[in-house]
Amino acid sequence: MSQQRVETGPATFGQFIGGTWRAAESGRGFDDMDLWSGDVVAQFAAGSGAERSRPASARTGGFRTWAHASPGLRQDIFVKVAEILARRRPEILHWLAVETGWGRDFGAIQLDFAQSLLSGPLTPRTPPSVR
């Protein structure tokens, strides 16, 4: 049995603030266009000037948490992000091509570079006893 792709329209995204996706208070949004076809591929929430303090407030708590995290925990987070990038590679390459117009090979180079920064040989290895 073959699989058929069902078109459901463009992906819709809110603002990711403090670990939660939120719609813009105004309800406004903007379209993200495929650079090759001109089709709308995603719609994003468009925050207003009044909303600009929400990310800053959420960011403050995150900075405090990160500042008190051990080097081992920070390393574990970077490695986990690299694993997520690897697992979602086809999806990320698709969005890099649609969003930026990059060809697959150039997108792959960028993705490989990001993964190498997060988990490559330059990532310091912390002994388990220090974690």
Q: Express each pLDDT in 6-44 by its tens digit.
A: 456 788 888 888 888 888 888 899 999 888 888 998 999
64 and 12 in a common domain? yes
62 and 12 in a common domain? yes
Instruction: Give the residue among 13, 40, 54, 46 at the shortest CA–CA distance from 27.
Output: 46
If pLDDT is split at 50, 70 and 90, which confidence band does 56 have? confident
Which residue range forms the structural domain that includes residue 18? 8-68
| 47 in any annotated domain | yes
| 52 in any annotated domain | yes
Counted domains in the chain: 2
What tokens appear for 80 in the block? 């986990």
| 19 in any annotated domain | yes
64 and 18 in a common domain? yes
